[in-house]
Chain A
Amino acid sequence: MYKKFTLPLTDEVLKDLKAGDNLLLTGVIYTARDAAHKRMVEALDHGKSLPFDIKGATIYYMSPTPARPGRIIGSAGPTTSGRMDAYAPRLIAEGLKGMIGKGSRSKAVKDAMVKHKAVYLGAIGGAGAIMSKSIKGVEIIAYEELGAGAISRLEVENFPVTVVNDIYGGDLYEEGKAKYQVKAS
């Protein structure tokens, strides 16, 4: 069952999200991966503003394939989130509310999600073709020199994600695994 959900994520709506919920997101999200994260945290360290308003924002860990002529984007699935763990707690403390990616997060990131109320949403790794169909608008807004790693503003419609980490410390990876694990006899 997928629940339709309109962004942005607010503390109020985050209360109702639980690890394992399937959502179809509609609204604005921003792409960023390692290099862009590094620059954003450096900007904060130097007291500079970020390329977009981080308060209430959702970041998608993704860098797409080039768009074919006549299309706005190519294949657009998630990258491994763990590479952003070094930077994520800082952005969460600044007001980031949602992260979309794949793969497990560090304890520091999970703690920050509980403390500052943010969620981690899983997208299906390797399914970039299907994901690109939910992206209706793309605009590069910063770090264009990073190529596919630039920050883009995406307008998404019914973008499928699953809640992996909720604001209560729930973790789908741990809960799901515990349910299906067969202990050695």
Chain B
Amino acid sequence: MREIQAGDVTNTVARLFEHSCHYLPPDVIIALKQAREKEKSPVCRDVLGRILENVEIAGKEQIPLCQDTGAAVVMLELGQEVHITNGDLYTAVNEGVRLGYDNGYLRKSIVNQPCFARVNTTDNTPAMIHTDIVPGGRLKISILPKGGGSENCSRLTVLTPAKGRQGVIDFVVDLVDEVGSNPCPPVIIGVGIGGTTDKAMFIAKKVLLRKVGEPSPDPEVADLEREILERVNNLGIGAMGYGGTVTALAVHVETFPCHIASMPVAVNMQCWCARREEAIL
């Protein structure tokens, strides 16, 4: 049994959110720089240049990269040997969100009730928490401040198995085409195939935690990622939808076994401002 203080969870979550809203992961910055090199449209090269300038200013002057500092998505991998002491885990996570959004001068964007009064909870809680129980004695905390603009462009479908690989490609490409400039391209596209519908949506989001540009370890899946990326970039949408050759920085696909009758396909859209962090306690 390993003990982890609830207070340590709180402080870690707070630090991760505050930091992530001011600094992009290095792999995302590299991908944006490569996009600027590759982009054929001068208009979109200019946009990507300003995006990179924004990244510099955010860190240097402590101004959040984007005013939409997101819904607080927290993915926990909790070792089964871990015992959380002096408080309960989810309260500790939410307290961390409250603290981080307050200390970091981040925007509080959560309303208490989705389809009636929509009153702001004023502290950006509750966090969207997902927990996997894993072997071992550690707690891995991954966070995504998920902006509304790209999240609104996410989608779920259940294809017939007969649609196969091509059906997946068409579904993702058609969605990117339809949403165009809305999700703040160049986007990172998380795709979950298989499982039940809930599982598909979850793995589509979780695969966004993968480093940009790192292909799936499964060669068949990696090949699918390459083909979707090529098709998406052929759409011509470009950075901010102004017309260009880089519409997506990456496509990340995750698969899971599924029912003989089903092929769920989920897309979780991520804007270029792909903030994410992790820590292990």
A-B contact pairs, 19 of them (CB 8 A): A62-B67, A63-B67, A65-B106, A68-B62, A75-B64, A77-B67, A102-B184, A103-B181, A122-B241, A125-B184, A125-B271, A126-B54, A126-B184, A126-B273, A162-B43, A173-B180, A173-B243, A175-B243, A176-B243
By the criterion CB–CB under 8 Å, are A65 and B105 in contact?
Answer: yes
The answer to whether the Cβ of B77 comes within 8 Å of any Cβ in the partner chain is: no
A26 within 8 A of B: no
**A132 contacts partner chain B, Cβ-Cβ < 8 Å:** yes
In the bound complex, do residue A103 and residue B63 qualify as a contact, i.e. CB atoms below 8 Å apart? no
Residue-by-residue, is A123-150 near B (CB-CB < 8 Å gives 1, otherwise 0)?
0111111101100000000000001100
Contact of B241 among A63, A68, A176 (CB under 8 A): A176
Give the distance to chain A from B15, nearest Cβ to Cβ, in Å. Answer: 17
Which of A65, A126, A182 lies in contact with B236, CB distance below 8 A? A182
- B69: chain A residues at CB < 8 Å are 65, 75
- Interface SS majority for chain B: loop
Pair A180/B244 contact, Cβ less than 8 Å: yes
Cβ-based interface call for B245 (8 A): yes
Q: Are A130 and B54 interface neighbours, CB within 8 A?
A: yes
Q: Is A169 close to B, CB under 8 A?
A: no
| Residues of chain A within 8 A of B58, CB atoms compared | 75, 129
Determine whether the beta carbon of B64 is less than 8 Å from that of A103: no
Asked if B202 CB lies within 8 Å of chain A CBs, one says: no
Closest to B271 in A: A126
Chain B, interface residues (CB within 8 Å), range: 35 or more
Please indicate the chain B residues that have their CB under 8 angstroms from the CB of A68 in the complex.
62-63, 105
B residues 49-68 near A (Cβ < 8 Å) are 50-51, 53-54, 57-58, 61-68
User: Given that A74-B105, A182-B234 are contacting pairs, would A128 and B241 also be in contact in the complex, using a CB cutoff of 8 Å?
Assistant: no
Could you say which of B67, B108, B243, B273 contacts A172, with CB atoms under 8 Å apart? B243
A residues near B (Cβ < 8 Å) are: 20, 22, 62-68, 74-77, 79-80, 82, 102-104, 122, 124-130, 132-133, 147-148, 160, 162, 172-173, 175-182, 184
Q: Are A75 and B41 in contact (CB under 8 A)?
A: no
Which of A68, A75, A173 has the largest count of B CB atoms less than 10 A from its CB? A75
Chain B contacts for A124, CB-based, 8 A: 47, 50-51, 54, 240
| Cα of A130 to Cα of B235 in the assembled complex, Å | 28
The complex places the Cα of A80 from the Cα of B181 at a distance, in Å, of 9
Chain B positions within 8 Å of A126 at CB level: 51, 54, 65-66, 147, 184, 271-273
Q: Which residues of A contact B57 (CB under 8 A)?
A: 129-130, 133
Contact B107 A63 (CB under 8 A): yes
Best-buried of A80, A82, A122, A184 by chain B (most CB within 10 Å):
A80
* Given the contacts A67-B105, A82-B182, A177-B243, A129 and B236 also touching, CB distance less than 8 Å: no
Query: How near does chain B come to A130, taking the closest CB pair, in angstroms?
Result: 4
Whether B181 pairs with A181 at a CB distance below 8 angstroms is no
B79 at the A/B interface (Cβ < 8 Å)?
A: no
Q: Is B85 an interface residue (CB 8 A)?
A: no
Within the assembled complex, what's the spacing in Å between the Cα atoms of A132 and B67?
10
